[in-house]
Amino acid sequence: MSDVLSHIIPRLSRSDQDQKIESANFSVPFNRSSLEGRELEYIFQAITSGQISGGQTFSKRCELLLEQVLGVKRALITTSCTHALEMCALLLNIQPGDEIITTSFTFVSTVNAFVLRGATPIFCDIRADTLNIDENKLEALITPNTKAIVPIHYSGIACEMDQIVEVANRYDIPIIEDNAHGLFGKYKKRYLGTIGCLATQSFHETKNITCGEGGALLINDPHYLERAEIICEKGTDRSRFFRGQVDKYTWIDVGSSYVISDVLAAFLFAQLEVRQKIQFRRQSLWERYHFELAEWACFNNIRQPFIPPECDPGWHLYYLILPSLEQRQALISHLKAAGILAVFHYHPLHLSEMGRKLTKQSQMCPVCEDIHDRILRLPFYNSMTDGQQTYILETLLKFSCG
């Protein structure tokens, strides 16, 4: 280990202390990022190589790893999942007046990326069992203006893709998978992110594998390959120039700067390298919640997540659905009193201030509204210790919906 690194490490552990003090009110945080492998060593390598811009060694290594493991034609590492979604909207030439169909039970970026280009979101309700887009309500929402269907594999458990693909193909509408939750999850033995013509990943701090802020665009339809590289490189053919395919690079299309610094890519590559360890740890945390809470949940009329038989989960999050809003709030307070932070999401987008402005017809998503009132996410992160989870479980088991 280098001198520089030995200077960095004590400083890192000091900020570790700071963080503990900040979150002193909670002995168990909701989420926490952690070093999983050779992050510091790779960052040091990136910095001392003198090449820390986008498209360098570690970015290429991340892209190659995703391409080989997932079997996608091309993976482009981006500054965020939000930006990868924006790239999708540009690749599809989304225009004012176009519509995209997605769910209201998602992160705002799933929709905002298309709204930025002038599209109107059409919200499809979710299934009460998986909280994914309800494939049986999809077709009724398609109009001549529908330009994309954007399913989210909620919590890393796949949407019913066969039926979604069948409907999309019949109307010739591209599918973009927002796979922020589902990296390395599978549907009928196929990796999520390999089914739509495009897919997006997030490496935000809250995701299984992270570099703080980062993302990826996965390209399955070869039709988008060339233009995706150009959009990512500020509308220039710089990627072709770096490969020696052209002798100068120039402005040829719209675009922006969606590439990530190699310092962050170095952090990301170290995590991607140990993806099996990370996924295995999350699977065992998930399964322990699931099995040890089963009887208590059943007794209290609390619903646990459902995994359809054709799905291998991505193990992104663990949730409970309480019988009522009041009981959900009571459980949050019960956990908070014990120093455990549990949270809920997503505020239905169609009920938000912006959502109400954008959607003319009153789009009814009763399942989404009901779930939002009753869902609770439990603390879930790679570095959670068995002891912490025992404490959370013991605290939960003392709660009764009575």
Ligand X SMILES: *Cc1c(COP(=O)(O)O)cnc(C)c1O
Residue numbers of the site for ligand X (CB under 6 A)? 80-82, 106-107, 109-110, 152, 178, 180-181, 202, 204, 215
Number of Cβ within 10 Å of residue 354's Cβ equals 14
The backbone torsions φ and ψ at residue 231, rounded to the nearest 5 degrees and listed phi first, read -60, -40
Of 259 and 396, nearer to ligand X (C-beta) is 259
Which secondary-structure segment (H or E) carries 57?
helix 57-66
Taking the C-alpha atoms of residue 174 and residue 88, their distance in angstroms, rounded to an integer, is: 10
Of 202 and 395, nearer to ligand X (C-beta) is 202
Can you spell out the DSSP letters for 45-56? Answer: HHHHHT--STTS
Of 81 and 183, nearer to ligand X (C-beta) is 81
Taking the C-alpha atoms of residue 166 and residue 145, their distance in angstroms, rounded to an integer, is: 19
Least distance between ligand X and beta carbon 137 (Å): 19
Taking the C-alpha atoms of residue 282 and residue 42, their distance in angstroms, rounded to an integer, is: 24
Burial of 12 (0-12, 13-18, 19+ CB in 10 A): exposed
Q: Annotate 242-279 with three-state secondary structure.
A: HCCCCCCCCECCCCCECCCCHHHHHHHHHHHHCHHHHH
Least distance between ligand X and beta carbon 120 (Å): 19
Of 302 and 379, nearer to ligand X (C-beta) is 379
Least distance between ligand X and beta carbon 178 (Å): 5
DSSP structural state of residue 340: B
Of 110 and 300, nearer to ligand X (C-beta) is 110
Least distance between ligand X and beta carbon 84 (Å): 8
Of 54 and 215, nearer to ligand X (C-beta) is 215
Least distance between ligand X and beta carbon 140 (Å): 24
Of 29 and 314, nearer to ligand X (C-beta) is 314
Least distance between ligand X and beta carbon 243 (Å): 27
Least distance between ligand X and beta carbon 33 (Å): 13
Taking the C-alpha atoms of residue 227 and residue 235, their distance in angstroms, rounded to an integer, is: 9
Q: Which three-class secondary structure state does DSSP give residue 216?
A: strand
